[in-house]
Copies of this chain bind each other. A is one copy, B any other.
Amino acid sequence: MPKLVEYENMAPRAKAVVEGIAAARGIEPADINNVWKALARHPAVMEQFAAEMKQAFAPGALDPLTKELVYLAVSIANQCDYCIASHGTMARNKGMTDEMQEEFMRVVLAALKGNKIAMAYRVPVDKAFEEA
């Protein structure tokens, strides 16, 4: 399954998706990153994911760096190497300093431990949280 399709060889529907992303990022369509070259084989999946990403990162109540950190936290919890590499880069591009990254890792690791403690000790949910 791993084949990548370069922009120039993509079907029109896939090209249109790539052009939209490239325009938003200010890059050339040929320089699109690999996940889109892989998805080009399945235009319907590609269009839906591109729309979902665009909406998720549209300006709103949360700032862009917070959204990148949430994305990166999910990717670490899910152990997606590609996503850690790509969204780690994007987080730094959006302002994540070394100091922020270290704090972020501390929260991620504390959360992972808290998650497993709650499961291992079979902790029942407090009434106060159920009713919140």
Instruction: Give the bracket for the number of chain A residues in contact with chain B.
Output: 35 or more
Query: CB of A24 within 8 A of chain B?
Result: no
How many chain copies? 6
Instruction: Tell me how far the C-beta of A38 lies from the nearest C-beta in chain B, rounded to whole angstroms.
Output: 4
With A and B bound together, what is the CA distance between A80 and B105 in angstroms?
Answer: 18
Query: CB of A55 within 8 A of chain B?
Result: yes
- Contacting pair A109 B104 (CB below 8 A): no
Q: Which of A73-132 contact B (CB under 8 A)?
A: 73-89, 92, 97-126, 128-130, 132
- Contacting pair B114 A62 (CB below 8 A): no
Instruction: Tell me how far the C-beta of A89 lies from the nearest C-beta in chain B, rounded to whole angstroms.
Output: 4
With A and B bound together, what is the CA distance between A128 and B28 in angstroms?
Answer: 14
- Contacting pair A114 B84 (CB below 8 A): no
With A and B bound together, what is the CA distance between A118 and B4 in angstroms?
Answer: 12
Task: Given A76-B120, A116-B112, decide whether A56 and B89 contact each other with a Cβ distance below 8 A.
Answer: no
A80 to chain B: which residues have CB within 8 Å?
79, 114-116, 118-119
Cross-chain contact of A35 among B77, B98, B121 (Cβ < 8 A): B121
Point out residues on A near B: beta carbons under 8 Å.
Answer: 1-2, 4, 33-35, 38-39, 41-42, 44-45, 48-49, 52-53, 55-57, 60-62, 66-67, 69-71, 73-89, 92, 97-126, 128-130, 132
